[in-house]
Amino acid sequence: MSSDFEKKTPVVSKVEEQTSVYEGSEEETKGNLFSSFIDSFRPVGIVDDDEDLTPQQRAIAATTKIPLRHSLSNRHLQMIAIGGSIGAGLFVGSGNALVQGGPAAILISYCLVGVLMYLTMSALGEMGVRYPVNGVFSAYNTRFLDYSWGFAVGWTYIIHWTLNLPTEMVAAAVTIDFWKGDDNGATNVNKAAWVALFYSVIVFVNLFGVRGYGEVEVVMSAIKVIAVVGFIILGIVLVCGGGPNHQYIGGKYWGDPGAFSHGAKGVFKVFVSAAYAFSGTEFAGLAAAETKAAHKALPKATKQVFWRILIFYVVSLTLVGLLVPYTEPRLGTAKDGSASPFVIAIQHAGISGLPSVFNTVILLSLLSVGNAAVFGSSRTIVSLAAQGQAPRFFLWIDRKGRPVLAVGLVFLVGLIGFVVAAPNFSKAFNWLSSLAGLSGLMTWGSINLCFFRHRMALEHNGIGLDELEYVAPLGKWGGLVGFLFVVFVLIVQFWVSLFPTKSADAYNFFQAYLSFFIILALFVAHKLWTRHWSYVRVKDIDVTTGVRVADREQLRAEIAEEKAMIAQKNIFGRLYHFFC
């Protein structure tokens, strides 16, 4: 094996001495408002003095010193985690999943993928608290697995979320078609004009940096939570026969047309729909790098994933399966609210007005995902640039902590959204969407494998769990189970995409599996380019660079103090801390 990654004493990169300006001193606010605004885009430089390190060690060190601002609070991080798991994937994508699998298949698949999401977030929580670095998904892969794999995962994640910006704006423009039957003048406006409006709004929000993203997500998440909770209450009433038509529904649709639409293959098909619905939850890990006291906020966001999955997905989708048969012809036929099982359930009950409210929620959810796409992709670009896996100029971080050129690249790609003006835009839209495909699943699998190797490295270096501020409940075996489950999903997805029916379908296969070939091609190309053939062995994993508290005795003291505070609480306080 190559000796490129042999251990050397790490030297952490340091930010130039511009701290007072970066933190917002009087220098920054002198002059009129316009000149202050322009001046805020001036970069904070980064100096590298790590010439003696291997590429992997320089990459690890650099991710600890990216000068992004800690502008988010615990409130923002909690709502980002909640908002990331509720969106068009739940409101609209569940309709297509219902057709493909049936109500029982939805419950099975979403519960299993929900467990995977919980394992992933638990792993991310433990690593994120110990190593609060920027661009966690690529940084951890570089640290714990392989330098080239970190490059491949990072760029696949960027492709996924950068292309999500134009696709979500296009989907939002299409969503307005829901009101066509109401003679609404908005439906006569050219869709490109709507894309231009949405694009301008998202650009404006991002002028405020990560704080703008956080505040928007707080509002959007609150709207989505209210919508889901409201539907759950309404759904229980409708199932029990309390709707306007006073018809008891119960489990009627589980008997006819049935619980499964396509047997086991239907269950496997729904796996990817479920993964798409949950994608974005991991943004809490990215946002933690720009959150105050992230070591306290991230574990809370992680622990609450279980309850969000149980309430927002399992309960709401159980009600959807009871209220809408999978033979409903409108399911999975459009991108707007008319294809949403939530809207269809309300329409079946004969309730007027409320379907339009839900379509509005879907519209806002799409724009929320577009806004989140700018955040997720730009931060990953900056992380890769710091690691030497993307052009260095993307490290332009201005005085307000905005990664200017990285955000600019995302918005440049966002102009693809104007493809909506083309006559056959739906075909281009489907291929753009397919580029996202399996990338979320592969990112989750990598996170779980990183976590398993992180635990092995801690054991090898004699670092016990008593030195971890947050411990993932299922330990390293939870990480291994999460990784193996992703491998299983990739295998069955290969089967169901190649043989969606009894005969092979190459077009469907490449559209479904495109992102897998992209990440494989990036990995092989980077290996050939760098000629770093070895992976990171357990004995060579760096478990010290970038840790929040380097002094082990100080860390043990802090953990002991935290445990003592918890022990003083009553039984309800201790239970709340354990679960939330």
Q: Where are the domains of the chain?
A: 14-548, 553-580
Q: What is the mean pLDDT of residues 123-140?
A: 83
Q: Which two tokens stand for residue 377?
A: 């992709």
Instruction: Report the Cα 340 to chain-centroid distance in Å.
Output: 22
Question: What confidence category does residue 550 fall into, taking pLDDT thresholds of 50, 70 and 90?
Answer: low
Helix (H, G, I), strand (E, B) or coil at 44: strand
Q: Inform me whether the pLDDT recorded for 527 exceeds 60.
A: yes
Give the model's pLDDT for residue 389.
87
Give the model's pLDDT for residue 199.
93
Provide the H-helix boundaries in 23-146. 26-29, 33-39, 55-62, 74-84, 88-91, 93-101, 103-130, 136-144
Distances (CA, A) of 355 to 91, 232, 371: 12, 15, 24
Instruction: Report the Cα 495 to chain-centroid distance in Å.
Output: 26
Handedness of CA 539, 543, 546, 550 (dihedral sign): negative
Residue 63 near residue 547, CB atoms below 8 Å: no
Nearest to 177 by CA among 420, 370, 417: 420
Give the model's pLDDT for residue 155.
92
Enter the pTM of the model: 0.86
Give the model's pLDDT for residue 52.
64
Lowest mean pLDDT among 63-77, 397-411, 537-551: 63-77
Residue 442 near residue 519, CB atoms below 8 Å: yes
Q: Inform me whether the pLDDT recorded for 353 exceeds 80.
A: yes
Q: Treating both helix axes as pointing N-terminal to C-terminal, what angle do 341-348 and 93-101 enclose, rounded to 10 degrees?
A: 80
Q: What is the mean pLDDT of residues 95-107?
A: 89
Q: Which two tokens stand for residue 53?
A: 């390190």
Instruction: Measure the CA–CA gap between 321 and 323, rounded to whole angstroms.
Output: 6
Give the model's pLDDT for residue 232.
93
Cβ within 8 Å of residue 7, ≥6 positions away: 540, 542
Cβ within 8 Å of residue 122, ≥6 positions away: 302, 305, 472, 473, 474, 478
Question: What confidence category does residue 21 fall into, taking pLDDT thresholds of 50, 70 and 90?
Answer: very low
pLDDT, tens only, 230-248: 999 999 999 998 888 788 8
Q: Per CATH, the architecture of 14-548 is what?
A: Up-down Bundle (1.20)
Other CB atoms within 10 Å distance of the CB of residue 190: 11
Q: What is the mean pLDDT of residues 185-210?
A: 87
Question: What confidence category does residue 530 fall into, taking pLDDT thresholds of 50, 70 and 90?
Answer: confident
Nearest to 224 by CA among 436, 367, 75: 367
pLDDT, tens only, 53-83: 666 666 777 766 676 777 777 777 777 777 7
Give the model's pLDDT for residue 53.
63
